[in-house]
Chains A and B, each alone.
Chain A
Amino acid sequence: MIKIKEALCDFCGTCVSVCPVDCIELQEALIKIDQNSCTDCMLCVYVCPIETLEYSHG
């Protein structure tokens, strides 16, 4: 699953723009990934400008 290092996130939306299944919700200062629809495709992890996201087993 994709883990969010929440203290790092800048809420910029770059990850949202590429997510193929649109499972990232982004409010002014809140980010959530719907782990049920997430396919672990990693695109959000790669595109985040400041390395906020990472893949973690389990």
Chain B
Amino acid sequence: MDDQYDVIIIGAGPAGSVTAWHASLGGAKVLLLEKDRDIGYPVRCAEGVGAAGLQSIVDPDSRWIANKIKGVDLISPHLKTIHILNEDFGFVLNRKIFDNFLAEKAAKAGAEVLTKAYAESLCFGENGRVNGVVFSHFGRRLSLRAKIVVGADGVESRVGRWAGIRTQLKMKDIETCVQYTMSNIDVKPDVCEFHFSRERSPGGYIWIFPKGDGIANVGIGISGEYARYKSPLRYLEKFVQEHFPKGSVLTTAVGGVPVSVTNRQIVKDGFMLVGDAAHQANPISGGGIVPAMVAGKLAGKVAAEAVQAGDVSQSFLEKYEKQWYRAEGRTQKIMYRLKEAVYKLTDDDLNKTADAVLSLPEEKRTMVSVFKKALFNRPTLILEALKVFKTSITEVFDPLS
């Protein structure tokens, strides 16, 4: 380890590792810090990704693909199923191995990676500009200089706050989640299920993502807004009791997902935010793996260019912000409006939507048709939905076949 780096990245999730990888490819001297002892563990994720989004960053690899998904089932409160078929929907990952693989990519491109390295604060130079990181590692406290510091610390997003950026999420803009990885349950082997109900998962949904061999991630996310009345844990317990009374729970995962628009500020002089720390996840699905990687790739490249140009000012780093908006940020804003509309629907509205979609011939039942029926009294939103489903790659699943 040196005491001077071009770029120090805090957090080795998909956002941090992909940033480190692309900054290193661009020739920067990079250090990636992770507070946990293992990169990729504990897993706090349902592990679903859309094929197109994943492939825009890495080639699928059998070491970390647990299962290929060929369709989704959307399930209404009155338990009617809308099946949407698509041979290339996406994958369920094995995230422990996947996250490790991304960090290894960064290391192979030249980045130094360190685990058990907990960032405690930032260093500031002239004009209050960020110029380094203080972190602890096995009882030692180290202070290292960097031209650019990147906050990739996930939903906590404290690093951004240390840099003076407000990153707190509103209660309506966080999904609070619990998931069981279950075995001994009867699920379709290659279909992801999404259960919608205001009663059983207010402001969110229950998912069942199969991992193969009769194992599946069964989880729930509800809006923080409703969590004060009943925690997601209790909703999940009830669902599992009703649907899988004989199932076993192999793993329990807990976590939060930002379902917001991108944070108002994501760059400053010598500082950048990426991934969940920048609130880049898809607000309607909570899918954040692909957005984190898309942003990481853009941020890493721009960081390397800034170092090369000898200009790490906010105005230079805004190039990343602009590229993010062009690639996904604009779409994310529309997704956010869709979220606000869709999660307001009552169970009665949801049932009527399901019945209306099911009255269509099977080949016409697409994700877009679902939104059309659900938002029949919001025609302008439907038009926007049509636009984004054609252009976005950061869907959990890319729904238009």
Interface residues of A (CB under 8 A from B): 10, 12-14, 16-20, 22, 26-28, 42-43, 45-51
Contacts and interface: CB of A to CB of B under 8 A. Distances in A.
12 contacts: A13-B256, A14-B174, A14-B256, A17-B174, A20-B168, A28-B116, A42-B228, A45-B228, A46-B228, A47-B176, A48-B176, A49-B176
Contacts of A47: 171, 174, 176, 224, 227, 256
A28 B36 contact: yes
B168 A22 contact: yes
A46 B255 contact: no
Contacts of B232: 49
Contacts of A16: 155-158
A49 B175 CA distance: 9
Given A27-B35, A27-B118, 6 more contacts: A17-B168, A17-B169, A17-B258, A18-B170, A46-B227, A49-B176
B233 A50 contact: yes
B161 interface: yes
A52 B154 CA distance: 20
A17 B157 contact: yes
A46 B171 contact: yes
Contacts of B169: 17-18
A43 B228 CA distance: 8
Interface string B153-188: 011111001000000111100101110000000000
Given A12-B44, A17-B169, A20-B168, A49 B156 contact: no
Contacts of A17: 155-157, 168-169, 174, 256, 258
B307 to A, nearest CB: 29
B254 interface: yes
Which label, helix, strand, loop or mixed, suits the secondary structure of the A interface?
loop
B178 A43 contact: no
A39 to B, nearest CB: 13
A46 B230 CA distance: 9
B118 A28 contact: yes
A18 B171 contact: yes
A18 B36 contact: no
B155 A14 contact: yes
B37 interface: yes
A34 to B, nearest CB: 13
A10 B228 contact: no
B177 A49 contact: yes
A13 B37 contact: no
A12 B171 contact: no
B4 interface: no
A49 B158 contact: no
B174 A12 contact: no
B348 to A, nearest CB: 27
Contacts of A27: 35, 118
Given A18-B169, A20-B168, A28-B118, A51 B156 contact: no
A12 B254 contact: yes
Interface centre among A13, A28, A43, A49 (most CB of B within 10 A): A49
Contacts of A50: 178, 231, 233, 254
A27 B33 CA distance: 13
List 7 tightest A-B contacts by C-beta distance, closest first. A14-B256, A46-B228, A13-B156, A10-B254, A16-B156, A12-B255, A12-B254
B221 to A, nearest CB: 9
A13 B155 contact: yes
Contacts of B118: 27-28
A48 B255 contact: no
Nearest to A16: B156
Contacts of B258: 17
Contacts of A19: 168
Nearest to B252: A10
